[in-house]
Amino acid sequence: MIETNKTNLTKYLPETVQTETVQSHSTSRERLALGISVLGVVALVAVVALGLVAGRTKLTGIVVFGFFAMMAGVLVSHFGDFATPGRQVWAYGLASGAMLASAAALIAPKAITQHPKYGGFAIAFGYLIGYAAHELGHLVSHHDLPINAATGELTLHALAAGSIMGVVYGALPTLTPLFGYGIVAHKFPAGFTGSEAVEQSGLPVSVMVIPAAAVAIAAIPLSILTPDLSPIVKAIFFGVSTGVFAHVAIDMLPECSHVGSHGDSTGHGTVHCSPEADRLRQYAVLSTVLGAAAIFAMWQVLAMG
């Protein structure tokens, strides 16, 4: 009750004092976000060192490559110019189409081949987990936390993906061009769209270190601690990761409306459409199809090579 009264009294303060209070609160939030980012980097360095000491060099190389692929997407989003509605539609459309295609083509088959039924159910549950994280993540917007819902959702997927890589460590391929491409197809779009959402929430883009490092943080310790698992358990891991990632991709699809805002509560893909909304809708559909087609085309070239 005391805290509530203090909050209510704020509106009676002079305007200059209110401004200083808001600025101070914003600065504290940014400092906390930066502190969490630093902890994420420290954790990443620690698990990478652990992986090298434990002889998990192949896995360590893969997760480090994935980290830089995601951060590359963050840098492109941060330094690129995507302020206009048209560019936002194309950026979100290409990224979401690529993410959805890579989830369907590069992860889902692994779940189904391990066990068709359990893998299929796990995909459904994974999608619902992503949906639950998105809807319940709206509660995050009511508080000035150092992360937003989009970052939390991407971190959830990264932990699921890292868990899979850890428990099936022995079956992981070497970092070939095809496998490396699959990692980039997942991580680069996720970094791009996640960075957009973070900046719309007024957070420093450095917090994207958390989902970028989460794969390594989950994968390397699990590769050391986890015994060989049955195909059913592996199917569940692959399926849940597929479902969560598919939901992230669909959540990033550009949505055009006359009354939309630059971004919804999580910053996911909703853009303000001008009076030329019909043209932007056409761009949205075309960009998502091209994003998925690009994944197919690059996979085809690498597979044939």
The secondary structure of 120-138 as a DSSP string is HHHHHHHHHHHHHHHHHHG
Give φ, ψ of 56 to 5 degrees. Answer: -90, 55
* 152-175 per-position pLDDT tens digit: 777 877 887 788 778 776 556 565
Structure tokens at 101: 């295609």
Q: Are 218 and 167 in contact (CB under 8 A)?
A: no
Q: Are 70 and 212 in contact (CB under 8 A)?
A: yes
Q: How far apart are CA 271 and CA 292, in angstroms?
A: 21
* 244-295 per-position pLDDT tens digit: 888 888 888 887 764 333 344 444 455 555 567 788 888 899 999 998 998 8
Q: Are 38 and 153 in contact (CB under 8 A)?
A: no
pLDDT at residue 38 in the model: 92
Q: How far apart are CA 37 and CA 26, in angstroms?
A: 16
Residue whose token pair is 């993906």:
161
pTM of the model: 0.70
Instruction: For residue 88, name the pLDDT band (cuts at 50, 70, 90).
Output: confident
Domain spans, the chain: 36-304
